[in-house]
Amino acid sequence: MANYAFVTIWRLEAPLEEVWDAIYHSETWPEWWRGVESVIELEKGTNGGIGNKRRYTWKGVLPYRLTFVICTTTIEHGRLLEGTASGDVVGTGIWRFSQEGDVTVVRYEWRVRTTKRWMNLLAPMARPLFRWNHDKVMGWGAEGLAGNLGRLCGSESYPA
């Protein structure tokens, strides 16, 4: 299996609570995030959302889709949202939220390994393309979220 670690930072001129709500309610992502084809809730989890399971299907620029289930493992309202992935990718995703003046900073860390045989076979050559595809999808998320909130946004991606 090929391992990947991505870090994306979004800076939005929006209140932290609005940004938190948009990310936390991922069932709405297909409405504003190009590349998110579907989000289907499989299990509700506890009252606080721990144990919630949702199936996500994503399509980037490259001609393939990824489908995986995220199980929410940590929720610190307005600060942190974490989950574990299983399916076409296995690993963890962590959303971190902070405020810098009037700007909400969102840092997303995605540490996964692929389970699709063809992706693992191509990884030595295609890794830069897979990273580029991921960065495009995250850029679409920044643009979509900014448009959804009617705010300005900047996006940066880094190798982790």
The whole-number pLDDT of residue 47 equals 78
Which 3 state secondary structure label does DSSP give 59?
strand
User: What's the rounded Cα separation, in Å, for the pair 49 and 74?
Assistant: 9
Q: Mean pLDDT lowest for which of 49-63, 64-78, 139-153?
A: 139-153
Domains, the chain, in order of start with CATH, read 3-159 (3.30.530.20)
pLDDT digits (tens, 9 = 90+) for 63-94: 999 999 999 999 999 999 999 999 999 999 99
